[in-house]
Amino acid sequence: MALILPIKPLLGWMMALILIDLMTGIWAAYKRGEKITSKGLRRTPIKLGGYLIAIIASAIIQLPIFIGDLIPITRCVATFLAVVELKSIGENITSLTGVPIGNIIKGLFKNKDVIKEIAGSDDTNTSETETDVPNKS
What does pTM read for this prediction? 0.69
Distance, in Å, from the CA atom of 43 to the CA atom of 103, rounded to the nearest integer, reads: 29
Instruction: Produce one character per residue of 103-130: b if its CB has 16 or more CB atoms within 10 Å, e if not.
Output: eeeeeeeeeeeeeeeeeeeeeeeeeeee
Distance, in Å, from the CA atom of 75 to the CA atom of 66, rounded to the nearest integer, reads: 14
Greater confidence, 34 or 70?
34
> Please, which pLDDT band fits residue 68 given cuts at 50, 70 and 90?
low
Highest mean pLDDT among 7-16, 63-72, 104-113: 7-16
Residues 6+ apart with CB under 8 A from 50: none
pLDDT digits (tens, 9 = 90+) for 73-85: 888 999 999 999 9
Distance, in Å, from the CA atom of 18 to the CA atom of 110, rounded to the nearest integer, reads: 29
pLDDT digits (tens, 9 = 90+) for 109-121: 776 666 666 666 5
